[in-house]
Homo-oligomer: A and B are copies of this chain.
């Protein structure tokens, strides 16, 4: 027997899955459109170097990278920020600023499949390039918040930090800038024992630093590390009616290319996969050979959002089929096709029996196809020039004409 399974760690999506995915995708895209973002798309694979430039050589072991038939090193994209910035450098440098770009696409990572982690997964995200920093940060935070709101996701935690806050509190308490980078992974993993040891070695005030890293709360948290500009961002959010966030100086995030505000959105119920969104202000264009441009963005874990929505018992809309048509006997099929065509032309969704089944089997299939109504057309109906319409919910049947059906 041939190997006929989907590749390990990947998924097929059946019609019910795709209905939910398209629903969420359209909600999210609708939010970006209301916010004035324009969608872009990049190829599924890129030069491997694009990703190592952004994320370091370490990312290679987590990627699907290979040589193409021309000997080029390429990789299936593990994320969409670097490709979007590459698109900007290659195609949009001259466009009016700021640029507000959104994207939705599949990404790939080669890692051990586990609950909630797949080798092919989807990201929905947005980037603002060339805005005044605080204004871009307000807008991107507002969009991320709106994306969560339109999805219907409840019980999320919106955590906002600032790498300037983090750097300043380190510097204020005895860690000079050049000694800070090795500490970020410890901060990011919240490995405070490891951090305490590293700070002790440097001779910094570990107690004060860790107390601040562990602090969280409203904007009063910033009183201890003022002057980063995050205050203006929070004022802006307040004007937009957004107040359900916590300020956490200890957010470091995985990548050290962030330069300003950073944020994460978590759904605590999801365990290890609780982070559904992450983003911030970063410097990347320079790495790709272009002039610096203020850049703020985020990516939403599309699959995790769906898992979170399912976990909270979300009542996803279910698409109904308006009419399922059952011709009873070969003499009725011509007229049934005419009815089918008229219903579809009028914008109704309509299907027809394709297996010459009897009524009871056809009704069973119609139920499995989520039909709201069945149109039954037998020899009697044909003679009388009518249709029998069955309400699939109540089982009630009534006679009507095609004209009346189209008017209803």
- Which A residues are within 8 Å of any B CB, using their own CB? 1-8, 10-19, 21-22, 29, 33-36, 38-47, 49-50, 53, 61, 64, 66-70, 72, 74, 76, 86-87, 89-92, 96-98, 100-101, 106, 108, 110, 120, 128, 130-132, 135-136, 138-139, 142, 146, 235-236, 239-241, 287-289, 319, 321, 324, 333-334, 337-338, 340-341, 344, 347-352, 354-356, 364-365, 368-369
CA distance A139 to B350 in the complex (A): 12
Name the B residues within 8 Å of A351 (CB-CB): 35-36, 100
A284 → B minimal CB distance (Å)? 11
Distance of A352 from chain B, by nearest CB (Å): 7
A21: chain B residues within 8 A (beta carbon): 41
Q: Are B289 and A86 in contact (CB under 8 A)?
A: no
Residue of B nearest to A289 (CB): B1
Q: Are B289 and A90 in contact (CB-based, < 8 A)?
A: no
Contact B47 A18 (CB under 8 A): no
One of B12, B40, B76, B349 near A42 (C-beta < 8 A): B12
- Closest A-B pairs by Cβ, 4 of them: A15-B38, A36-B351, A66-B66, A131-B354
**Chain B residues near A96 (CB-CB < 8 A):** 364-365, 368-369
- B4–A90 touching, CB < 8 Å: yes
User: Closest approach, in angstroms, between the C-beta of A391 and any C-beta of chain B?
Assistant: 18
Q: Can you name the residue of chain B whose Cβ is closest to the Cβ of A63? A: B69
Chain B residue numbers with a CB within 8 Å of A5 are: 47, 90
Q: For the A-B complex with A22-B39, A68-B110, A235-B334 known, give 19 more contacts whose Cβ atoms are closer than 8 Å.
A: A1-B289, A2-B49, A6-B90, A7-B46, A7-B68, A14-B40, A34-B348, A34-B349, A36-B369, A45-B120, A64-B66, A97-B355, A131-B355, A132-B355, A135-B352, A135-B354, A139-B352, A239-B337, A240-B337
B39 contacts A18, C-beta separation under 8 Å: yes
Rounded to whole Å, the gap between the CB of A400 and the closest CB of chain B is: 21
Q: Which residues of B contact A138 (CB under 8 A)?
A: 337
Considering the chains assembled together, what is the distance between the CA atoms of A351 and B37 in angstroms? 9
Q: Which residues of B contact A2 (CB under 8 A)?
A: 49-50, 53, 287-289
- Provide the bound-state CA to CA distance between A344 and B241, in Å: 12
Q: Contact between A34 and B344 (Cβ–Cβ < 8 Å)?
A: yes
- Cα(A138)–Cα(B61), bound, Å: 50
Chain B residue at minimum C-beta to C-beta distance from A353: B135
Q: Which residue on chain B has the smallest CB distance to residue A74?
A: B7
Contacts of A36 in B (CB 8 A): 321, 324, 349-351, 369
A393 to B79, CA, bound (A): 40
A364 to chain B, nearest CB (A): 8
Whether A15 and B43, one on each chain, are in contact in the complex, defined by CB atoms closer than 8 angstroms, is no
Cα A7 to Cα B86 with chains together (Å): 11
- Which of B47, B92, B128, B369 meets A7, CB within 8 Å? B47
With both beta carbons as reference points, the residue of chain B lying nearest to A88 in the complex is identified as B12
What are 6 inter-chain pairs, A to B, with CB distance below 8 A?
A7-B68, A19-B38, A33-B319, A66-B66, A132-B354, A239-B341
